[in-house]
A and B are shown apart, each in its own frame.
Chain A
């Protein structure tokens, strides 16, 4: 109990004093996850809309696979990315191992199936509403994709939120491919893990506190944005 209290006090202190290391680590966390999220969204949303508006042979198989990949254990993703980018691996020449780029790649692999599935689900519902109208108005496939994405933007924001939560709190994969190197690849989660193993629970808790605040403020901001965006519509 005492440790929790101490952790909270120290966390407040670290935040209020704009502790430079804390800020660097937090910003790095944000950088990795937000970048991964943007890349994932650029892949996931058009893909999900495309899967909804087209009918082709392996469509269902792809949807099922994506749903299954949602449960992909991050550690395994980390392992695979590690093998790909390790010096003897097929992509070793790129020299990305133990960089934030490798961490971003790992997170893209973790986040993309998740937000594709969420987006696909809601766009599927919208499509069953819209289908006849959009076909009747004779709009192109690209325009269908655009219309679906635009009109389900609230669901897509929610998907982003879920993706952000998954990414910012993820530790297994980025620990393996990033290596938790001080001043280079250390982020909030890996720092917490390190401080815990070192026995510095107070600092670990302080970092955890910042992590939770980050996740929650993003969530509140999104909620607020969604509300003002849509006015009275539920």
Chain B
């Protein structure tokens, strides 16, 4: 079983090929990590899967209907988008739009604020917080609806070790509790810690999609070898 199948997807802007053609099957279990250099197309691919980018060709199919899939997924953007509201209101927002009662939404927001260690800042304006704090809020806000599918675009790129650990733990917990996670990262260490399978993107195409172990020990493509070697040099 796979929750998501990508067939011959291409995204072009004014005859410039950004990504594609891409064929992928993403399975229900574990965390799938999207690896690739800057400009390789990670953001474009994730946004395409989430339905934020219009496909120039191909299709993205879910095991559930498209309209249901749209409700059951969430996205954490590379640069966090904060509503011009308080931390609590940011966290509660997805619940509020789904018309949950105010008390439930507030309680959930408080619980998530605790999980990310921001319970003392719930009354503050979110846009005034640090980049790392905003990123943590974005992750919590995405998970607050318990989505079936969560896309994250380099969510821990600017975080210190402790915050990164907090978020990784939250993601592992969510993954074990039925949320499929697809996440891009630059951080090979993170890929090693989290991934079940690795999707390696190079110049807009998938050069490898295999288990983490296989990718790390016997990378098939030249670009993947270089990517792994780059990590050792650094």
Contact = CB atoms under 8 A, between A and B. Distances in A.
A137 interface: yes
Contact of B81 (A132, A143, A147, A232): A132
Contacts, number: 38
B128 A233 contact: yes
Interface stretch (B14-22, B70-78, B103-111): B70-78
Contact of A129 (B74, B81, B85, B97): B81
Contact of B70 (A126, A130, A138): A138
A223 to B, nearest CB: 19
Interface string A126-145: 10011011011111000100
Interface in B45-89: 47, 50-52, 70-71, 74-75, 77, 81, 83-85
Nearest to A130: B81
A19 interface: no
B71 A151 contact: no
Contact of B77 (A133, A138, A143, A231): A133
A137 B85 contact: no
A137 B97 contact: yes
A130 B93 contact: no
B125 interface: yes
A136 B81 CA distance: 11
A136 B83 contact: no
B93 A137 contact: yes
Contacts of A147: 83
B75 A136 contact: yes
A133 to B, nearest CB: 4
A135 B83 contact: no
A143 B99 CA distance: 11
B204 to A, nearest CB: 21
Contacts of B81: 129-130, 132-133
A136 B128 contact: no
A127 B23 CA distance: 33
B3 interface: no
B94 interface: yes
B84 A132 contact: no
Contacts of A143: 97
B97 A151 contact: no
Contacts of A139: 97
A135 B85 contact: no
Contacts of A130: 81, 83
A126 B127 CA distance: 13
Nearest to B99: A143
Given A132-B52, A233-B125, A138 B83 contact: no
B104 to A, nearest CB: 17
A133 B83 contact: yes
A232 B94 contact: no
Contacts of B85: 151
A108 to B, nearest CB: 30
Interface in B149-169: none
| The 4 A-B residue pairs with the shortest CB-CB distance in the complex, in nearest-first order | A133-B81, A136-B75, A139-B97, A233-B125
Interface of B: 47, 50-52, 70-71, 74-75, 77, 81, 83-85, 93-94, 97, 125, 127-128
11 contacts: A129-B81, A133-B77, A133-B83, A136-B74, A138-B70, A143-B97, A147-B83, A151-B84, A232-B128, A233-B125, A233-B128
Given A130-B81, A147-B83, A151-B83, 20 more contacts: A126-B84, A129-B81, A132-B52, A132-B77, A132-B81, A133-B77, A133-B81, A133-B83, A135-B51, A136-B50, A137-B74, A137-B94, A138-B70, A143-B97, A151-B84, A151-B85, A231-B125, A232-B128, A233-B84, A233-B127
